[in-house]
Structure 1
Amino acid sequence: MTRSVLIAEDELIVALDLEAIVEEAGFEVAQTCESLSCTQEALDHGMPACAILDVRLVDGEVYPAADRLNAAGVPIIFHSGHADEAQLRDRYPEAQFCPKPSSPWSLRDALQRAMTQKRAE
Structure 2
Amino acid sequence: MARFHRGRDVTDWPDEMGYYRMPVTEHPRREAVRAQANHYVTGRDGGRDIDLHRFATEGMRLYGPLADHAGGTLRFRHGLADALDHADQVSESIKDTIDAHIERQGIDAPPGRGLSSFRCN
TM-score, normalised with respect to structure 2 = 0.26
Give the structure, 1 or 2, with the largest relative contact order (CA under 8 Å, sep 6 or more).
2
Between Structure 1 and Structure 2, which shows a larger proportion of strand residues?
Answer: 1
User: Larger radius of gyration, structure 1 or 2?
Assistant: 2
